[in-house]
Amino acid sequence: MPDAPASLVTDPAATVAERRRQALMMRACRLEPVERTPVWLMRQAGRYLPEYRAIRQQVGFLELCKNPRLSAEVMLATVDRLGVDAAIIFSDLLPILEPMGMDLEFAAGEGPVIHNPIRSAGDVSRLVELDDLDRLEFVMDVVRATRAGLDDSIPVIGFAGAPFTLASYCVEGGGSKAWLHTKSLMYSHETAWHDLMGRLARAVSRYLVAQFEAGAQIVQLFDSWVGCLGPADYRRYVLPHSRAAIAEASKHGPVIHFATGNPALLPLLREAGGTVIGIDWRIELDEAWRIVGHDRAVQGNLDPAVLLTDRDTVRRRASEILSHAAGRPGHIFNLGHGVLPQTPVENVLELIATVKGG
- At 295-349, the pLDDT tens digits run 999 999 999 999 999 999 999 999 999 999 999 999 999 999 999 999 999 999 9
Cβ neighbours of 254 (radius 10 Å): 22
Residues identified as active-site: 43, 47, 56, 92, 169
pLDDT number for residue 2: 38
pTM (two decimals):
0.95
Domain 6-357 has CATH 3.40.640.10: no
Q: In Å, what is the CA distance from 244 to each residue of 198, 206, 249, 281, 312?
A: 8, 11, 9, 27, 43
The helix-helix angle for 137-148 and 190-214 (nearest 10°) equals: 40
Strand segments, DSSP code E, in the chain are 87-88, 104-107, 111-114, 156-161, 218-223, 255-259, 276-278, 297-302, 331-335
pLDDT number for residue 358: 64
d(Cα 143, Cα 159) in Å, to the nearest integer?
Answer: 10
Cβ neighbours of 312 (radius 10 Å): 9
The helix-helix angle for 345-357 and 68-82 (nearest 10°) equals: 60
Model pLDDT for residues 200-241, shown as the tens digit of each residue = 999 999 999 999 999 999 999 999 999 999 999 999 999 999
Model pLDDT for residues 85-133, shown as the tens digit of each residue = 999 999 999 999 999 999 999 977 778 999 999 999 999 999 999 999 9
Q: Is the pLDDT of residue 4 over 90?
A: no
d(Cα 138, Cα 153) in Å, to the nearest integer?
Answer: 24
Model pLDDT for residues 22-61, shown as the tens digit of each residue = 999 999 999 999 999 999 999 999 999 999 999 999 999 9
For residue 254, give the nearest of 302, 220, 280 by alpha carbon: 220
Average pLDDT, rounded, for the chain: 95
DSSP letter assigned to residue 329 = T
